[in-house]
Chain A
Amino acid sequence: MFVEDEQLAAFAPGLDAQFRVRCAEALGVRGQWSEERVKRAVDTALERAPTLGLSEERSVFAYLLLATDIALAKPEEALVRGVEAILREPALPEWQRVRLARDYWLQMYQPPAP
C-alpha cells in the first residue's frame, strides 16, 4: 500500500530521523570521534547530498562514507574535484554516480609514503 500524503507528512520525518541515526551509528564505528562531531558530520553530508543530486538513502549513505574517507585522507584538491565531478554527472542515475565516484577515489588516491 502507499501511504497517503496526509499520513506521510507525519511518517516520513520519522523515517528520516531514523536514517540520520543509522548514518551516525555507521560513522561512529569508523573512528573515535565524539558523538557531537559525528552528528555534525552526518548533518553536513545530509545537507550537501541534495546539491550533488543525491536523494536515495543508499546513495546518501554511500556518499557519507566516501566523504568521510576523503576528509580523513586530505588528498590533493584535483582528486576531490574529480570525485565531485563524477558525483554530479547528469547522465547517470545517482547510485551509479556514487559507485563510480568511490571507484575513482579508490584507484586514484595514493596514500602518502610512511
Chain B
Amino acid sequence: MSTARLDLMASAAGKIGGVTWHHLFLLWTDAAGKQVCLRAGPQCLPLEMLYGRKTQDGEAAEDYERSPAGPYGLIAFSSAPYEPGTVDFDPVAANVTLASGNAAAQLWDNVQEAAQALQKEEIPYDPVGKGGNWAITEALRRCGAQVALPPKRWAPGATVLARDPLEDEIATRRIGQPVAI
C-alpha cells in the first residue's frame, strides 16, 4: 500500500516559436496505485484543424458542427483512467505533488466539484487565454490550493494575466495604415 496523492502534470504538447509548451492535467493516485486523470480542453476544434483527422466513423471534418461559443466551443472537463493509450498518458510528463494522504483525497474531491462548477459557467475556450491550462489551475485556485507548476515548464494560460486597462482602450489600427471611422 502506498500513500494516495494528487499531482499536477505537465506534458510537452508542442512548440511556439521553437519554445516547448506544456499541457497540464491532474493525476490522482489512490492508495492502491490506481490512477485517474482530470483534464480540461476545448469542446470542439475549428474546421481547419479537423482536415485529415480520422474518427472511428471516418473523416472528422464530416461531422463538424460550428459551436455558437466560438471555434473551440466551451471549456470541457473530462476524467478517465490514466493508462497507456489514453489521450493524456505521458510517462515522461513532469509533475509536482500538490497533496498526499487524506489532504490529497479531500483536494481531489474538491477539485472535481470545482471543475463541474466551472464547466457549468459555459466559458468559451480560448487557446491562448482561458484554455485547458487556465481551467485546470483555476479549478485548483477555487479550492484554495497553491498552484505551483513543475519547474521550467511553460504552460500557456496557467498564469492569470492582469490586463493593462489601457490595452482595452487601444484600437487594433495598424500604425500608419488606413483607418475606418
Interface residues of A (CB under 8 A from B): 1-3, 5, 8, 11-13, 15-16, 19, 22, 26, 46, 49, 55-58, 60-62, 65, 82, 84-89, 92, 95-97, 99-100, 102-104, 106-108
A2, A88, A89, A100 pick with most chain B CB within 10 angstroms: A100
Chain B residues 61-85 with CB under 8 Å of chain A are none
Q: Pick the residue among B19, B158, B167, B177 that contacts A86 (CB under 8 A).
A: B19
Q: Is B178 an interface residue (CB 8 A)?
A: yes
Q: Is B170 an interface residue (CB 8 A)?
A: yes
Tell me whether A57 and B128 are in contact (CB under 8 A).
no
Given A26-B166, A103-B157, A108-B154, the answer on whether A86 and B174 have CB atoms closer than 8 Å is no
Q: Is B179 an interface residue (CB 8 A)?
A: yes
Whole-angstrom CA separation of A58 from B158 in the bound complex: 22
Cβ contacts under 8 Å, B155 to chain A: 107
Minimum distance in angstroms from B137 CB to a CB of chain A: 11
Given A2-B180, A85-B19, A108-B152, the answer on whether A103 and B174 have CB atoms closer than 8 Å is no
Cβ contacts under 8 Å, B18 to chain A: 85
Per-position binary interface string of chain B over residues 145-181, scored 1 when its CB falls under 8 Å from any chain A CB and 0 otherwise: 0000100101111110100101100111111111111
Tell me whether B181 and A86 are in contact (CB under 8 A).
no
- A-B pairs with CB below 8 Å: how many? 99
Minimum distance in angstroms from B89 CB to a CB of chain A: 24
Given A99-B128, A99-B129, the answer on whether A56 and B164 have CB atoms closer than 8 Å is no
Whole-angstrom CA separation of A15 from B176 in the bound complex: 8
Interface residues of B (CB under 8 A from A): 16-19, 128-129, 149, 152, 154-159, 161, 164, 166-167, 170-181
Tell me whether A107 and B170 are in contact (CB under 8 A).
no
Tell me whether A11 and B17 are in contact (CB under 8 A).
no
B17, B129, B158, B164 pick with most chain A CB within 10 angstroms: B17
Cβ contacts under 8 Å, A99 to chain B: 128-129, 161
Tell me whether B156 and A103 are in contact (CB under 8 A).
yes
Cβ contacts under 8 Å, B177 to chain A: 12, 55
Q: Pick the residue among B173, B180, B181 that contacts A57 (CB under 8 A).
A: B173
Cβ contacts under 8 Å, A60 to chain B: 175
**What are 20 A-B interface contacts by the 8 Å CB criterion?**
A1-B180, A2-B181, A12-B176, A15-B179, A26-B166, A46-B175, A55-B174, A57-B174, A62-B164, A84-B17, A85-B18, A85-B19, A92-B128, A97-B17, A99-B128, A100-B128, A100-B156, A103-B128, A103-B156, A107-B149
Q: Pick the residue among B149, B167, B178 that contacts A58 (CB under 8 A).
A: B167
Tell me whether A8 and B179 are in contact (CB under 8 A).
yes
